[in-house]
A and B are shown apart, each in its own frame.
Chain A
């Protein structure tokens, strides 16, 4: 549509502090300077009907940025807001999906907007307390977020009876300790309760029985940090930045074989071609071989097909993959796809929590069979074996890690079967030939 307007609006939601001086852009003063906490203070003053705010979120069509793409407004409406007792909002800053590195930058460069988003979400769902679960390796982002919490408490923006409004909101950080599975929302709740991060069987869903047994909503960092801007500019504005059913701007983490890997906050529906250009094109002037467009869990898309895809949920789905967390992994010509798939499968084997037999055993099988193919010990029947093992994990497990392990295998075999067959036959990579 209006290309120029769209480019102008780059970095206008979660990254709207990005243009400020690097040394101070994360501070309360900087955030105040761009209108930060104005939405929260309006809520404190006017105490609007939470249903109206949720309605605005629904209009915005913000879909969960953690990977599943579930509409945020709808999720909030599931909370039994008026039921007595404690309720919680939990932010998911576990960011462990290979390729994904956007929430880290929100925590580092715009932590106050996340706090404001959590407070507003808390108000909408009737939660007076929130936890932000941040992966343990994020020492610097944790320090930034905790520094921002201290500033917000000191300025009387969160706490008890905030600014005499009668509204309470306490916010805390919780550090992880190195387990991808804790990004799964119910494993994350178990982890906050001081246990191994093993996903819970659902139902009950967190909105009924969540953290400490209380109604809980879990949202991704980017989802929550988008909220203040949506309320400021209106749900309609946000929706119109993108496309119907694919509202807003989205952070894309472009990594792999590009000249300038980076995070880009651009309108939904931005052509992949344009995103690749922003990232400086494929490294060393090579041709594009393939793209994993939504984090390591989603199906791979061949490069020539990807060049015509737009970066939104529906367009990527049409190309046979998923937008997922918005992590765009670029793979150049000459890369051995057997090696890439082994890397992915090894990851899922390592990160399976081990509760479900299909996932625990299946991820091990996939990685071991791929390893033996790489070692030159592959057998002709191994391709069928990979297909059938992957097919028997998907849909048969407690959480989506099982599907996440299976989908890459199926898609790599679909598009690059000849590379696997070549390696089995010749004992070496087709790319080395």
Chain B
């Protein structure tokens, strides 16, 4: 059999106990424990998520390097993961993320109006953050909530069957 997938297992010879906070280390360790011991790298996705959440919603290169040390991975492999998946952000973000689904079922139910409405009212294009730093607007692909279209993921919560007015109310309530 030609295909082989072995763990990368790089020893960075750095003290892992100084990385992040004890709470984040404990949370990452809980994920590491789910996988065979030689596959620490399996925790890279939850680790990126935890570290990103604790850093105002985005990842710096220094943070990714620390994750590489913590999980015995080459830094490049962590960058690859962080750039491949849509939920990781490598630039500063607004205090909130407003993710509007633009896939087929939501488009048929008016997601374009939602996006245009937010663009005009708040002066942001998808990918941009409002001048006051309140939120970053994102266009995302199907959220798996198509029966409740149009769907919006606001930070960690789904909001469904939204009209422009209803979305406004949600945005007005953001800090």
Contacts and interface: CB of A to CB of B under 8 A. Distances in A.
B142 A196 contact: no
Interface string B132-168: 0000000011111111110001001110000000000
A296 B147 contact: no
Interface string A17-28: 000000000000
A194 to B, nearest CB: 4
B49 to A, nearest CB: 7
A179 B86 contact: yes
A296 B104 contact: yes
A209 B1 contact: yes
A197 B148 contact: no
Contact of B73 (A101, A137, A194, A201): A194
Given A98-B141, A99-B142, A190-B5, 13 more contacts: A136-B45, A137-B87, A177-B48, A180-B141, A193-B7, A193-B42, A194-B44, A194-B73, A196-B81, A255-B147, A329-B104, A331-B108, A340-B108
A291 B143 CA distance: 20
- Which of B7, B84, B156 has the largest number of chain A CB atoms within 10 A? B84
A174 B47 CA distance: 12
A159 B127 CA distance: 44
A145 to B, nearest CB: 13
Interface in B72-128: 73, 77, 80-81, 84-88, 99, 102-105, 107-109
Nearest to B33: A172
A174 B34 contact: yes
A176 B143 CA distance: 12
Nearest to A178: B86
5 contacts: A96-B144, A104-B144, A204-B1, A212-B35, A212-B39
A104 B151 CA distance: 14
Given A178-B85, A178-B87, A179-B84, A139 B157 contact: yes
Contacts of A138: 144
Contact of A194 (B39, B104, B157): B39
Interface string A299-340: 000000000000000000000000000010101000100011
B45 A194 contact: yes
A357 interface: no
Nearest to A214: B36
A193 B3 contact: no
B147 A197 contact: no
B1 A98 contact: no
A296 B87 contact: no
B14 interface: no
Given A176-B85, A256-B105, A347 B144 contact: no
Contacts of A97: 142
Contacts of A208: 1
A370 interface: no
Contact of A137 (B6, B108, B144): B144
Interface stretch (A240-248, A257-265, A411-419): A257-265
Contacts of A98: 103-105, 141-142, 146
B161 to A, nearest CB: 9
B144 A103 contact: yes
B144 A256 contact: no
Interface in B9-47: 34-36, 39, 41-46
